[in-house]
Amino acid sequence: MSDFKSLNLAGPIMWALDELGYTTPTPIQLKAIPDVIKGRDLMGIAQTGTGKTAAFSLPLLHHLCVNDHEPPRKGARALILAPTRELASQIAVSIEDYGRKMDFLSVTTVFGGASIQRQIKRLSGGNDIIVATPGRLIDLLDRKAVSLRDIEMLILDEADQMMDMGFIHALKQIVPLLPEKRQTLFFSATMVPKIKKLAGQFLNDPVTISVTPANSTAERVEQRVTFATSAQKPALLGLSLLDPEVDRALVFTRTKHGADRCCKRLAQIGLSSMAIHGNKSQGQRQFALSQFREGIIKILVATDVAARGIDIEGITHVFNYEIPNVPEQYVHRIGRTARANRSGIAHAFVAKDERGYLKDIQRLLKTTIPVVELPEDFDSQSRALALREPVAMVEKPKVETRKGRGKSNKKKKARFSKDKAKKSQSEFSDNSDAPRRNKKPHRGQGKSEAQPARNEDKPKHFEKGDDGYRGRKPKSEHKDGHSERSRGEKKSWDKKGGGKKSWDKKPKNRQSGESRDENERAARGPKRGDSKRPNNRDDKHGKSGEAKSYGKNKDSRAARKAVNQARHAEQHTRRKPRDGDRSDSEKPAGKSGGKPFGKKPGFKDGGKPAAKKPHQKYGQRRTGGNSKGRPSGGKPPTKR
């Protein structure tokens, strides 16, 4: 069997492979696909870049073509778990390419950094294949947005990383939710014996396929090691990237901040690069990978996020700026180059404190990596790098998002400008002839200087003979005498007055045209500063004949005091009868002896209510009847 036709795959899959130019399968594909089609569990070990993704994708698509039925709601028929978002996205793209001739194929990706609501919406209708990372899948399981009870095939890519301590707890939560009758596939480039033993707990009579020795590297990768201090590494990396043989390079660091520092130092010497690591958002990571894949940038700095399963064609060099502390990661790093029967170079920079990591890597690979010394004129070349013109760092352009429905990003003009207010105040203060504003001031604010007082052109009060405008009385007139509804007068109701109050409206003398207020003001005491006042004026109630002399006798305080006391006594006593009132003789005489105000029935002379008798209700007067309290000849009162 030397071609895909001998694997007996479904027709739509073969048509897609012909369009993609796949003619000869790799060793891992030749050995794994037949056993997977038979339904056996599999553990496949092969070096990176040998086509492990197609080794489990092609038999999975063949299974979906042969057993064609609708996927369950909120569920799927196959689940693929990957350690990183980039690897999950790459697997989904590969499956869609292989199944492009299948009309009913539905594939969805589930990973962090993306909108979980959109993922829930895509999962609600059911999918044939779900490609997910363990963390986000557990979040969706907690929300009950996905069900795994109908999974027919479970696939773990990069199984050694999935079974590591970082993912073992997530797998222990996911695997019990799967049906017992399923097919499980493990694929990885490295497999530690302890991890291999642990993976046996999830597999049922698996078939182990090892195409190349475990933890081996590609034969076409040329490995190099250069010993340099931490201070020499930036200049050494810059000189290596400026080599004309470097077409597209991938630089690995151990930490996230180390990747960012590396990009800044490369920009200072005129080299454009981008970084991807865990602190970058999903959009920034995808943007950086697309720029690197399309050849817009030639250098990509990454942590071990990009060391797993990222397949980018044309990578000629891989630089380990900081070698990994886990030996297996080194195998995945250098596997990004020399893919698909191509050659590549892997160059590692090792500091003094990293030599222990190098020994572990050589022990795992069972080989010794050749050492390349620093250039003889390294110091002069490093000084020349500092003279290069720096470039700006490449970043993802920010997309201006809408801040609301129909709202524009332009700033609206303020309704009230402080500068405008200051300008207007200065204009009114400087120009006395400026036009006055009739606008009312805001509540809580005083009257502005520009606003005129109400009826400013008219005096507050007028004398006799004015145009009839009646202004408000000055406050000085209210000090000695009180207004007609003063505190001295109280409300009193006439018995037969028709509900009229004791005070009447202020009558106006039609003959003279003088109002009662004017007479009262004339009868009150003199104002401060007046020397002469008329002597004979009417009182408040029309009483005349009392001569009041003022002006000349200013020192007669006793006289003024007596007049004020008399006026005060008149105001606080009961009013005298007016014309039209009934006299005491005309009122009906009763027990009260002809008093103007009689008693209410049921009350004693003192005004207190009479004692209540047992046969008499409160407020009911007994007019006669028998001893039981009933009226004579009447019916008993009804109860209320």
DSSP 398-419: PP----STT--SSPPPPSS-HH
| pLDDT average, residue stretch 350-369 | 93
pLDDT at position 201, please? Answer: 80
pLDDT at position 492, please? Answer: 44
Query: Which of 333, 356, 385 corresponds to the end of one domain?
Result: 385
pLDDT at position 502, please? Answer: 44
User: Looking at residue 275, what DSSP letter applies?
Assistant: E
Q: Which residue has the tokens 């400013």?
A: 456
Asked if residue 80 belongs to a domain, the reply is yes
Give the domain CATH number at 243. Answer: 3.40.50.300
Same domain, residue pair 119 and 264: no
Asked if residue 275 belongs to a domain, the reply is yes
Same domain, residue pair 175 and 229: no
Asked if residue 542 belongs to a domain, the reply is no
Same domain, residue pair 249 and 381: yes
Contact 269, 390 (CB under 8 A): yes
* Residue among 180, 189, 184 nearest 205 (CA): 184
Same domain, residue pair 323 and 184: no
Please, how many CA atoms are within 13 Å of residue 269, restricted to the half-sphere of its CB? 20
pLDDT at position 532, please? Answer: 46
First-to-last C-alpha distance (Å) of the chain? 111
* Residue among 259, 412, 242, 365 nearest 322 (CA): 259
Same domain, residue pair 194 and 315: no
Rounded distance between C-alpha atoms, residue 616 and residue 630, angstroms: 10
Same domain, residue pair 228 and 193: no
pLDDT at position 432, please? Answer: 44
Asked if residue 318 belongs to a domain, the reply is yes
Same domain, residue pair 202 and 290: no
Asked if residue 594 belongs to a domain, the reply is no
Same domain, residue pair 258 and 347: yes
Rounded distance between C-alpha atoms, residue 619 and residue 264, angstroms: 102
pLDDT at position 419, please? Answer: 52
Question: pLDDT per residue over 456-512, tens digit each?
Answer: 444 444 444 444 444 454 544 444 444 444 444 444 444 444 444 444 444 444 444
Query: Which of 210, 242, 273 corresponds to the end of one domain?
Result: 210
Q: How many domains does the chain have?
A: 2
Same domain, residue pair 151 and 17: yes
Same domain, residue pair 150 and 298: no
Query: Which of 385, 411, 437 corresponds to the end of one domain?
Result: 385
Model confidence at 579, pLDDT cuts 50, 70, 90, reads: low
Which of the listed ranges 142-146, 466-470, 614-618 does the model predict with the highest average pLDDT? 142-146
Asked if residue 81 belongs to a domain, the reply is yes
Which of the listed ranges 125-134, 531-540, 610-619 does the model predict with the highest average pLDDT? 125-134
The domain of 338 spans 221-385
Rounded distance between C-alpha atoms, residue 625 and residue 101, angstroms: 114
| pLDDT average, residue stretch 335-340 | 79
Asked if residue 163 belongs to a domain, the reply is yes
Same domain, residue pair 138 and 248: no
Same domain, residue pair 234 and 147: no
Asked if residue 255 belongs to a domain, the reply is yes
